[in-house]
Amino acid sequence: MSLNRRRFLSASALAGTWSLLSPHARALGANDEVRVCVIGFNSRGKAHIEGILKSKGARLVALCDIDPEVLNKQADALAKQNVVVAKYDDYRKVCEAKDIDAVVIATPNHTHCLIAMTAAANGKHVYVEKPVSHNVWEGRRLAEAQEKHKVVIQHGFQRRSETCWEEAIDWIKAGNIGKMTLARGFCYKPRPSIGKVTAPTPIAPGVNYDLWCGPREVKPLMRAKLHYDWHWQGAYGNGDLGNQGPHQLDVARWGLGNPGLPKRVMSFGGRWGYKDDGETANNQMAFYQYAEGAPLLFDNRGLPMKDMNWTKGLEPVFRINGK
């Protein structure tokens, strides 16, 4: 099908996963295995690859990434495990492929909906990483697409699929902590500065930067690294409110009984401590007041200590009694 990179498809889908596919959604591949392609795996996508390899009823048949170094490295690693996969550098070709039943999307946030909608329009089930969309408008288009194309789309709330969290929520529901007065979600994960460039960063040879930009305007890369640090620029990422909120904030909301939209929201914060090419807040609080029941407070503190030892991994953003 003909696709305009800058225009979202009017048809779309929500997200399907190999483990939760509806038996009525569409015919499966050979031997009733769901044939899966992972799109984007320089970070979170690697975990999905391992998950598919371990899942009964799923078969990893393809990989797709716009960075040939990332693509070839992962394909070579799989080959050493005797896992042979097709390699794609364009998600549109994946969506057109007749020997792929489902896709797992772990690309930058701003391309989640475009890729998911394209897959759905081509009859593919989708599992899309959090956040499901870069903004509310895109998410609504994705939901409309799922309804139109009748495929399965699943959003990557990992904790919702872990039985330990479900047991903890059931324990709370049983009244073991008494009346709920406030639900709090914490994320105290230190984030280093992403640096500040004085000129556009060259795109590595072979990288399809046009496809990386997806529905956004193709602009010079104004940060030191193409990968991961997009989280902290508004056109592509959502800061830690969108990066960690789907974890800690969602669990807090789950504990409240999954209330609907709040009647009032207040949020404040900023990017403090350094001047770099990042735009999103590294310290932010968001307060959600619902029509009934307890409110919710999400507290994100990402400013590192001035003597942070990054070689030790992720130290907490604070110490108790100086230790």
Q: Is the residue at 21 inside a domain?
A: no
On whether both 232 and 306 belong to a single domain, the answer is yes
Residue 161, pLDDT score: 86
On whether both 140 and 187 belong to a single domain, the answer is no
Q: Is the residue at 76 inside a domain?
A: yes
pLDDT digits (tens, 9 = 90+) for 149-200: 999 999 988 899 889 999 999 999 999 999 999 999 999 888 889 999 999 9
Residue 7, pLDDT score: 38
45: Cβ–Cβ under 8 A, 6 or more apart, which residues?
38, 39, 104, 106, 129
Higher local confidence (pLDDT), 50 or 12: 50
Q: Is the residue at 185 inside a domain?
A: yes
Q: How confident is the model at residue 31 (pLDDT cuts 50, 70, 90)?
A: low
On whether both 291 and 172 belong to a single domain, the answer is yes
Give the mean pLDDT of the chain. 88
Q: Is the residue at 321 inside a domain?
A: no
Q: How many domains does the chain have?
A: 2
Q: CA 120, 124, 129 angle in degrees (round to 5)? A: 75
Instruction: Please state at what angle helix 68-79 crosses helix 45-54, rounded to 10 degrees.
Output: 20
Q: Is the residue at 193 inside a domain?
A: yes
On whether both 252 and 148 belong to a single domain, the answer is no
Q: Is the residue at 8 inside a domain?
A: no
CATH classification of the domain holding 49: 3.40.50.720
**Cα gap 220→232, rounded to integer Å:** 16
End-to-end CA gap in the chain: 59
CATH classification of the domain holding 279: 3.30.360.10
Structural domain ending residue among the three candidates 156, 176, 191: 156
On whether both 180 and 86 belong to a single domain, the answer is no
**Cα gap 135→110, rounded to integer Å:** 8
Residue 26, pLDDT score: 44
Structural domain ending residue among the three candidates 130, 156, 182: 156
Segment 131-138 shows an average pLDDT of 96
Q: Is the residue at 323 inside a domain?
A: no
**Residue 321: pLDDT above 60?**
no
Q: Extract the tokens encoding 174.
A: 């049983």
On whether both 108 and 215 belong to a single domain, the answer is no
**CA of residue 98 relative to chain centroid, distance:** 26
pLDDT digits (tens, 9 = 90+) for 283-320: 999 999 999 999 999 999 988 877 777 776 666 555 65
Q: List alpha helices for 150-190, DSSP H.
A: 163-173
The answer to whether the beta carbons of residues 70 and 41 sit under 8 Å apart is yes
Higher local confidence (pLDDT), 219 or 18: 219
On whether both 171 and 299 belong to a single domain, the answer is yes
Q: List alpha helices for the chain, DSSP H.
A: 45-54, 68-79, 91-96, 112-121, 136-149, 163-173, 209-213, 239-243, 250-255
Structural domain ending residue among the three candidates 127, 156, 185: 156
Q: Is the residue at 146 inside a domain?
A: yes
**Residue 241: pLDDT above 80?**
yes
**CA of residue 314 relative to chain centroid, distance:** 20
Domain with 40, as residue range(s), is: 30-156
